Amino acid sequence: MGFTIEKDILENQKWIAPCYSAEGITPSDMEKLFVYAFPSGGGLYADESFLRQARSRAEKRITCYIRFYDGTCRCMIGPHPFLTENTDAEIDDVLR
């Protein structure tokens, strides 16, 4: 979503410590969480064809909005969905 202050998202979603926190992570740390079957009970889905398609979509978006991602334009690409208030219908849907 471009330049978004992570702290704002965590606070707005009530993702607060100690349950949630932002931490640095390396690619090798992430690879330890990869799962190759769905559903697997948890992990980061890393099927090769899924990752190839996801990367293609991400590269297109980043190329189109590079100024938002490289820090040149320090603003969001539209409102970040996690910074908007949930509607009553969305809240009710979660509880179903």
- Tokens for 14? 């009530």
Q: What is the mean pLDDT of the chain?
A: 80
**Number of domains forming the structure of the chain:** 1
Residue 75, in any domain of the structure: yes
In terms of residue numbers, what domain contains 10? 6-82
Q: Which of 96, 79, 83 is nearest to 14 (CA)?
A: 83
pLDDT band at 6 (very low <50, low <70, confident <90, very high): confident
What's this model's pTM, rounded to 2 decimal places?
0.51
Beta-ladder partners of 44 = 34
Does residue 93 fall inside a structural domain? no
| 27 falls within a domain | yes
pLDDT beyond 90 at 55? yes
Summarize pLDDT for 16-47 with one digit per residue, the tens. Answer: 777 777 788 999 999 999 998 877 778 888 88
Does residue 91 lie within any of the structural domains?
Answer: no
Q: What is the pLDDT of residue 29?
A: 93
Helices (H), 1-96: 6-12, 27-31, 48-64, 66-69, 88-94
- Domain presence at residue 88: no
Mean per-residue pLDDT, 54-80: 83
For residues 53-76, give the mean pLDDT.
86
| DSSP type of residue 86 | P
